[in-house]
Chains A and B, each alone.
Chain A
Amino acid sequence: MFKLLATIQKDIRVLLRDKVGIALMFVMPIILVIVVTSIQNSTFELVSKNKLPILIYNQDTGKSSLQMIKAIGNIGMFKVSQTSKGETNIVDAMHHSDAMLGIVIPANFSAKVEAKSKSVSDKAMASFGLGDSTKKAAVGDVDPLILYYNPVLQESLRLSVKGALQSSLQMVESRETLRTLYFSINEKELPEKLENDMLNNRTPISEVPVSKDGTKSTPNSTQHNVPAWTIFAMFFVIMSLGGSVVKEKVSGSYIRLKTLPTSYHVALISKQVVFLGVTLLQAAVIFSMGIWLFPYIGLPALNPPTDVLALVITTLICGWCAVSYAICVGVYADTQEQSNGFGAVSIVILACVGGLMVPSFAMQGAFKTAADISPMHWCLEAYYTLFLEGGKLKDILDNLVPLFVITLVIQFVTYLGLKRKNLI
Chain B
Amino acid sequence: MDDFAVNITDMGFRYPDNDVVSFSKLNLKIAKGERFGLFGPNGAGKTTLMNLMTGVLQVDEGKITLFGNDIGHQKNEVNKLFGFVPQDFSFYQELSPVENLEFFGAWSGLNSYEIRHRSNELLQILGLDDVRDKQVKKFSGGMKRRVNLAIGVIHKPAVLFLDEPTVGVDVQTRHAIIEYLRVLNDNGTTLIYTSHQLNEAQGLCEQVAMIDDGKIIAQGNIDNLLAEHKQKSLEALFINLTGKELRD
Interface residues of A (CB under 8 A from B): 2-3, 6-7, 9-10, 13-14, 17-18, 251-253, 255-262, 266, 422
Contacts and interface: CB of A to CB of B under 8 A. Distances in A.
B111 A7 contact: no
A10 B92 CA distance: 9
Given A252-B91, A422-B58, 7 more contacts: A10-B99, A13-B95, A17-B95, A18-B94, A252-B89, A253-B91, A262-B109
Contacts of B48: none
A13 B94 contact: yes
15 contacts: A2-B106, A7-B107, A10-B95, A13-B99, A14-B95, A18-B94, A251-B90, A252-B87, A252-B90, A255-B88, A256-B86, A256-B152, A257-B107, A261-B107, A266-B107
Contacts of B56: 255, 258-259
B166 interface: no
B231 to A, nearest CB: 35
Give 8 nearest A-B pairs by CB, closest first.
A252-B88, A252-B90, A6-B106, A256-B90, A261-B79, A10-B103, A260-B107, A262-B107
Contacts of A6: 102-103, 105-107
Given A255-B56, A256-B86, A259-B82, A2 B111 contact: yes
A326 to B, nearest CB: 19
A258 B107 CA distance: 10
Nearest to A248: B92
Nearest to A263: B76
B84 A14 contact: no
B135 interface: yes
Interface in B79-120: 79-80, 82, 84, 86-92, 94-95, 99, 102-109, 111-112
Interface residues of B, number: 35
Contacts of B75: 261
A260 B88 contact: no
Contacts of B105: 6
A260 B92 contact: no
Given A2-B111, A256-B151, A261 B80 contact: yes
Contacts of A252: 86-91
Contacts of B89: 251-252
B54 interface: yes
Given A261-B80, A261-B109, A256 B91 contact: yes
Contacts of B55: 258-259
A343 B105 CA distance: 33
Most buried by B among A255, A256, A258: A256
A260 B82 CA distance: 9
B90 A3 contact: no
A261 B107 CA distance: 7
B79 A259 contact: yes
A219 to B, nearest CB: 44
B84 A259 contact: yes
A17 B93 CA distance: 11
Contacts of B79: 259-261
B148 to A, nearest CB: 8
Given A256-B151, A261-B79, A7 B108 contact: no
A259 B88 contact: no
Contacts of B108: 260-262
